[in-house]
Structure formats: structure tokens, C-alpha cells
């Protein structure tokens, strides 16, 4: 959302935000017009569902030249789709309890309504476009356009040599080893369990893994050459300092970490289930058919240290200004 706001503002557009919750410090820094729907003391999910319902009933897309839905509302010109709910449900490894199943039905109901009524649908990968047609076959395929999410190149940048050295010292990155970064907020879905099992097979004198983001709670038998580095506000320096970013997900509709890493010059190791794998070319990474520990360990052992040439974002049309132009073209 912030990338889109900055993109539209840079293009000289007036930006309105419709929401039910506001970060006042963030809002104070943004020259936008905020329309807040006050929903009082409803529980979290019910507040969200009430907001979606109110938007569907009262938001008038004709009041704007262009409107985007970043959540499951059906009232905007364009629905921006970063994932399809039934597809994510199908990838769960454990059976959901009754309350979770009820929430799943609610999410699917709003999502189906969104696909039925929104004039244009922007899918963040070909994988997502396929999932829309699979789980909602009644959707008119002519309304679906694949548009990969943009990268904020002012925020994610290649770091200079002195900052690179400082980062390696801060995170104790040994240049003699092959060091991989696993950035995640959903460890099990993103394949951390399999990755830990893979590292248990790898020589600790030659390989290391850094885990950024969510704590590794609930995981046991963590190898000694796997370290948790906490939450990192700006991953640019860490992306640049490691040899590979690894995302062996069971299900990943896109995977922004992949393109962020590539923009910073670091190749990636991902599974075919990661939507961003569609963008990879020779020398930019390794795409695996499975995230089994044996396949992961073998791929890591066979990987060579390399760098991705500058210009990945612009080669693939992923800059914010390019993305804004594409969005406007959809409603012209």
C-alpha cells in the first residue's frame, strides 16, 4: 500500500484511503486524504467483515478516476489479488477447527463476490490467475490481468562496500561459508521445517543459515549453524551480505522477498510453488520441484556463489512508476 501511495503521489495524483484503522504517526507523514469508518468495539475479524460489507454497499467507484481494492471488497475499479483464499486453505497441513472453518467460509464469500463484481482483476502472478480460474470458474477470464507487485527502489537498494562490510560484521557472516537468508513471518508454510532438516545434513564448516522475522518457536533440533537474527526493518543490507535468499515454500502466491533479494543483487533458491519463480532467468536463482530436505540439501551443496546483474527491477517492469502506469492503463 505504501509503495502504491508513493507512486501515485510521485505521479501528481490525489490519493484517498478508505480504512477502518489508522496508524496516526504514519498517517501524519503521508499527504493523503483518509476516510475512516468507525466500527467501535467489534472483535478484529468482525470489524474487518463489517468494513468489507459497508464498502460493498456504500463505496461509489464513480467518485474516483481509479480505485483499488487491497482487501476483499467488490466496489473498486481494480481488485489487487495477492492470493486466493481456498488455495491457501488447501495447503494447510492440519484440519482446521470449526471457528477457523467459519472464517474461511466468510473470506471465500467476500472473495467470490469480489471476483464477480469488480471490473478488472490484477493477479500478482500467473499462479494466482490460475487459482482464480480453478476455485472460481465462473469468473470471466478476460477481466484478469497478471501484474507482478512493484518494488520500492528507494527503500530496497544495493549497499556500498563499507555498509556491506559492517553488515557482515554485525551478523557474523563468514565469507568462507555459503550463507543463506530465510526471511519469513509464516515459517511452516514457507518451509522452515524442511530447511532445518536440510541444514542438519550440511557441513557446518561450509554452510550457514540466517532466519529473519518471526521467532522459531515450536521448532526443535535446530542445527548449530542456523541462527535467528530477529526482525530487520530494512533487509537491503542483509540481502546484499548473504550468498542466497531461500524460500522453499509449500504455498507462496508471489513472494516479495524473492524480487527484493534479486534487486539487491543476491540470487534465490525457491520452490516451484513460489509465484515469483515465474520471473527467474539463468543466473538469478534455482527453482526446485520439491522442498524435501534431501532436495534442498543437494541444491544448496551444488550452488555457486554468484551475483545478479543490476537492473532486475526495470528489466521486469517492477518499478513503482512502471506499475502505476499499468494500473492506469487498465481503466482507460
Question: pLDDT tens-digit profile of 274-297?
Answer: 999 999 998 899 999 999 999 999
Q: Are 90 and 148 within one domain? A: yes
**pLDDT confidence of 85, banded at 50, 70, 90?**
very high
Q: Are 109 and 218 within one domain? A: no
Cell of 19: 480504512
Answer whether 18's CB lies under 8 Å from 35's CB. yes
Answer whether 51's CB lies under 8 Å from 43's CB. no
Q: What is the mean pLDDT of residues 22-47?
A: 90
Q: Can you give the pLDDT at residue 298?
A: 97
Answer whether 268's CB lies under 8 Å from 305's CB. no
Q: Are 324 and 283 within one domain? A: no
Q: Can you give the pLDDT at residue 224?
A: 95
Q: Can you give the pLDDT at residue 319?
A: 93
> Cα–Cα distances in Å, from 304 out to 89, 178, 268, 269?
36, 9, 11, 12
**pLDDT confidence of 155, banded at 50, 70, 90?**
confident
Residue 233 clears pLDDT 90, i.e. is over it: no
Q: Can you give the pLDDT at residue 66?
A: 98
Rg of the chain over all Cα atoms, to the nearest angstrom:
21
Q: What is the mean pLDDT of residues 66-85?
A: 96
Q: Can you give the pLDDT at residue 212?
A: 96
Cell of 10: 510521485
Residue 257 clears pLDDT 80, i.e. is over it: yes
Q: Can you give the pLDDT at residue 150?
A: 93
Q: Are 131 and 207 within one domain? A: no
Q: Are 191 and 146 within one domain? A: no
Answer whether 8's CB lies under 8 Å from 321's CB. no
The whole domain housing 78 covers 2-152+319-331
Q: Can you give the pLDDT at residue 93?
A: 66
Q: What is the mean pLDDT of residues 235-245?
A: 96
Residues near 271 by beta carbon (within 8 Å), at least 6 away in sequence: 191, 247, 248, 249, 250, 252, 277, 287, 288, 289, 290, 291
Residues near 173 by beta carbon (within 8 Å), at least 6 away in sequence: 167, 179, 208, 210, 241, 242
pLDDT in tens, 165-176: 999 999 999 999
Q: What is the mean pLDDT of residues 37-49?
A: 86
- The Cβ of residue 53 has, within 10 Å, a number of other Cβ atoms equal to 12
Q: Are 219 and 107 within one domain? A: no
Q: Can you give the pLDDT at residue 292?
A: 96
Please give the mean pLDDT across all residues of the chain.
94
Q: Are 49 and 30 within one domain? A: yes
Task: State how many domains the chain has.
Answer: 2
- The Cβ of residue 93 has, within 10 Å, a number of other Cβ atoms equal to 8
Q: Are 173 and 35 within one domain? A: no
Q: Are 97 and 179 within one domain? A: no
**pLDDT confidence of 40, banded at 50, 70, 90?**
confident
Q: What is the mean pLDDT of residues 227-247?
A: 95
Phi-psi region of 214 (alpha: psi -120 to 50; beta: other; left: phi over 0): beta
Rounded distance between C-alpha atoms, residue 308 and residue 281, angstroms: 10
Which class for 186: exposed (0-12), middle (13-18), buried (19 or more C-beta within 10 A)?
middle
pLDDT in tens, 5-34: 999 999 999 999 999 999 999 999 999 999
pLDDT in tens, 126-152: 999 999 999 999 999 999 999 999 998
Domain of residue 290, CATH code: 3.40.50.2000
Q: Can you give the pLDDT at residue 266?
A: 97
Taking Cα atoms as reference points, which of 110, 128, 109 lies closest to residue 69?
Answer: 110
Q: Can you give the pLDDT at residue 238?
A: 96
pTM of the model: 0.88
Q: Are 45 and 139 within one domain? A: yes
Q: Are 241 and 220 within one domain? A: yes
Q: Are 172 and 203 within one domain? A: yes
Taking Cα atoms as reference points, which of 45, 40, 20, 186 lies closest to residue 102?
Answer: 45
Rounded distance between C-alpha atoms, residue 199 and residue 268, angstroms: 16
Q: Can you give the pLDDT at residue 240?
A: 96
Amino acid at each position: 500500500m505504501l509503495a502504491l501511495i508513493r507512486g501515485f503521489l510521485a505521479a501528481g495524483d490525489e490519493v484517498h484511503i478508505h480504512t477502518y484503522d489508522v496508524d496516526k504517526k504514519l498517517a501524519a507523514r503521508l499527504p493523503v486524504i483518509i476516510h475512516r469508518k468507525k466500527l467501535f468495539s467489534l472483535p478484529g475479524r468482525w470489524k474487518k467483515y463489517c468494513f468489507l460489507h459497508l464498502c460493498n454497499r456504500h463505496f461509489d467507484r464513480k467518485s474516483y478516476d481509479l480505485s483499488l481494492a487491497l482487501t476483499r471488497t467488490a466496489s473498486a475499479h481494480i481488485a489487487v489479488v495477492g492470493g486466493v483464499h481456498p488455495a491457501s486453505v488447501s495447503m494447510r497441513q492440519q484440519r482446521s477447527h470449526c471457528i477457523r472453518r467459519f472464517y474461511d467460509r466468510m473470506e471465500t464469500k467476500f472473495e467470490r463476490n469480489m471476483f464477480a463484481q469488480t471490473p478488472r482483476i490484477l493477479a500478482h502472478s500467473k499462479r494466482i490467475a490460475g487459482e482464480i480460474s480453478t476455485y472460481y470458474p465462473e469468473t470471466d477470464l478476460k477481466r484478469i490481468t497478471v501484474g507482478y507487485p512493484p518494488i520500492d527502489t528507494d527503500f530496497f537498494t544495493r549497499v556500498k562496500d563499507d555498509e556491506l562490510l559492517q553488515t557482515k560484521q554485525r551478523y557474523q557472516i563468514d565469507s568462507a561459508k555459503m550463507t543463506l537468508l530465510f526471511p519469513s513471518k509464516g515459517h511452516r508454510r514457507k518451509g522452515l521445517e524442511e530447511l532445518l532438516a536440510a541444514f542438519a545434513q550440511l557441513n557446518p564448516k561450509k554452510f550457514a543459515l540466517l532466519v529473519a522475522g518471526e521467532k522459531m518457536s515450536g521448532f526443535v533440533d535446530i542445527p548449530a549453524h542456523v541462527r535467528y537474527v530477529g526482525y530487520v526493518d530494512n533487509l537491503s543490507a542483509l540481502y546484499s551480505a548473504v550468498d542466497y535468499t531461500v524460500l522453499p515454500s509449500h504455498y507462496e502466491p508471489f513472494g516479495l522477498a524473492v524480487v527484493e533479494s534479486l534487486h539487491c543483487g543476491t540470487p534465490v533458491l525457491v520452490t516451484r510453488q513460489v509465484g515469483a519463480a515465474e520471473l527467474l532467468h539463468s543466473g538469478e536463482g534455482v527453482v526446485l520441484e520439491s522442498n524435501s530436505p534431501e532436495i534442498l540439501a543437494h541444491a544448496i551443496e551444488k550452488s555457486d556463489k554468484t551475483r545478479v546483474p543490476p537492473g532486475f527491477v526495470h528489466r521486469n517492469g517492477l518499478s513503482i512508476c512502471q506499475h502505476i502506469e499499468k494500473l492506469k492503463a487498465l481503466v482507460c
